[in-house]
Amino acid sequence: MRSLFGQPVTRRLLLAGGALLGGVHAARLALGGAAAQTHGPGHAMPITDGQPSAALSAAHASHGGMMTVGEVDTARNGFDPHTLLTDWDTGEVIRDDQGRPCREFVVEAIDKEVEIAPGIFFPAWTYNGRIPGPTIRAVEGERVRITFRNRGSHPHSMHFHGIHSARMDGVPGAGDVLPGGQFVYEFDARPFGCHLYHCHTVPLKRHIHKGLYGAFIVDPDPARHPEHEAVARSRLLGTPENREWQEFVMVMNAFDTNFDEENEVYAVNTVAHAYSKRPIVIDRGRPVRIYLVNVTEFDPINSLHLHGNFFDYYDSGTTLTPTLRTVDIITQCQGQRGILEFTYQDHEPGHYMFHAHQSEFVELGWMSLFDVRGEVA
């Protein structure tokens, strides 16, 4: 009898055997299976109109059962993926020795257990206790001065994408900070665009997937771009033109909770399914701009697909005219980023999905919704 469990039995054989086994019984089993399928809701993900069949309980009514169970305690985490979307850290502007404007920031590395999906706790390393770290936002040409303190248990650094000197690179030998130590990174904010920063201490994979990364946005200086001044002004935080836009930062990330170099949780801004459980509210009358950054570790690429709409894309955000027009999917390698612009002006109000177009990532947490509101003209 050990052969039953001990031997690899081919699937074909299993199926053949199952079919041969007492006709009535096999038929009944098959019917049972068919019944399960008929009742199964998972073929579509009905949001507004679809109703799951009564056979399966209401617990999974909104997403066909494909959903995490429970809620993340954002108070305990100390950050909320919804407030992260628009939480710009503009630092403090002072005048430096030469009288130029200088933007000062303080960032601390902190070890912290973060709830990345309901009930799943990840022993993270963070910048300022949150993942992603603060969205550092400056203006093209400004001096940027970041005081980095390492309150964590391992050496860390801040490596900024952008143009800077070798001494300010935030790599081992140039800006690596031991626990308890401090380093001041100083450089000019350029080029304008949507960048990122992350820890560059080795082992690199571990330091990044533990949570040490964030978005670094450099707004264009309209005075330097007379040919596209209006566009530049719309990007510059605080201008009346900019206030017309609904801007969000979205950092695509993932977590390997059991350290097997495969991710168990995928998300935008850390918490699985955060924006599908509580959709992002959009005013259909105003255009949308997304600063999208991919820092997904272990998977070569990540993507964003927008439902029912198309967008213009600015690769790295370093141009004022789109590098891709009218697309509905953008694919980014790890470290790649860009700006998406689109509008729901001509759409009816409702829930509009956006998600990675790798179905694996979707079902492991990277699935989101816009809740488009406003009167239909």
Partner 1 sequence: MTTRRMILALAVAAPLLLIVAVAIAFLAADPLRSLTGAAPPVEQVTVERQVLDGDGIGLLVRVGGTEPVRIAQVQVDGAYWTFVQEPSGELGNLSSAWLRIPYPWVLGETHHIALITRTGLAFEHTIDVAVATPDTNSLGVLGMVGLFVGVVPVALGMLFYPALQVGGTRAFSFSLALTIGLLGFLLVDTLQEALELAADAAPGLHGVALVWLVAALAFVLLLAVGRRKGGEVSGLALATSIALGIGLHNLGEGLAIGSAFATGAAALGTFLVLGFTLHNVTEGIGIVAPLVQEPPRWPVFIGLAALAGLPAVAGIWLGSYAFSPHWAALALAVGAGAILQVIVEVSGLLMRRSATQGTPWASASAVLGVILGVTVMYGTALLVQA
Binding residues (CB under 8 A) for partner 1: these are 1-7, 9, 11, 13-22, 24-26, 28-37, 39-43, 55-57, 59-60, 65-70, 117-122, 255, 257-258, 264, 272-273, 360, 363-365
Q: Which residue has the tokens 């809740």?
A: 371
DSSP 8-state secondary structure symbol assigned to residue 174: B
Q: Site map for Cu ion, 277-306, x if CB under 5 A?
A: ------------------------------
Q: Per CB under 5 A, which region of 167-175, 198-206, 301-309, 335-343 contacts Cu ion?
A: 198-206
Residue 205: name its binding partner from Cu ion, partner 1, none (Cβ under 5 to 8 Å by kind).
none
- Residue 186 is encoded by which pair of tokens? 């100083």
Q: Under a CB-based contact definition with an 8 Å cutoff, are residues 308 and 354 in contact?
A: no
Q: In sequence order, what are the residues at sequence separation of 6 or more whose Cβ sits closer than 8 angstroms to the Cβ of residue 340?
A: 288, 289, 290, 292, 304, 306, 311, 312, 313, 330
Q: Per CB under 5 A, which region of 34-42, 152-160, 175-183, 214-222 contacts Cu ion?
A: 152-160
Least distance (Å) between residue 358 CB and partner 1: 11
Least distance (Å) between residue 330 CB and partner 1: 23
Least distance (Å) between residue 298 CB and partner 1: 14
Q: Under a CB-based contact definition with an 8 Å cutoff, are residues 37 and 45 in contact?
A: no
Residue 255: name its binding partner from Cu ion, partner 1, none (Cβ under 5 to 8 Å by kind).
partner 1
Q: For Cu ion, which is the closer residue by CB, 176 or 219?
A: 176
Ramachandran class of 233: left when φ > 0, alpha when ψ lies in -120 to 50, beta otherwise: alpha
Binding status of residue 199 toward Cu ion by CB under 5 A: yes
Q: For Cu ion, which is the closer residue by CB, 149 or 347?
A: 149
Least distance (Å) between residue 171 CB and Cu ion: 11
Residue 156: name its binding partner from Cu ion, partner 1, none (Cβ under 5 to 8 Å by kind).
Cu ion
Least distance (Å) between residue 64 CB and Cu ion: 39
Tell which residue, 331, 219, 226, 240, has the closest CA to residue 286: 240
Q: Per CB under 5 A, which region of 77-85, 151-159, 346-354, 366-374 contacts Cu ion?
A: 151-159
Q: In sequence order, what are the residues at sequence separation of 6 or more whose Cβ sits closer than 8 angstroms to the Cβ of residue 52?
A: 41, 46, 58, 60, 61, 64, 65
Rounding to the nearest 10 degrees, give the CA dihedral for residues 15, 19, 22, 27. 120
- Residue 171 is encoded by which pair of tokens? 């790599």
Q: Site map for Cu ion, 211-230, x if CB under 5 A?
A: -x------------------
- Residue 217 is encoded by which pair of tokens? 């946005």
235 Cα distance to chain centroid: 21
Residues that bind Cu ion (CB under 5 A): 156, 199, 201, 207, 212
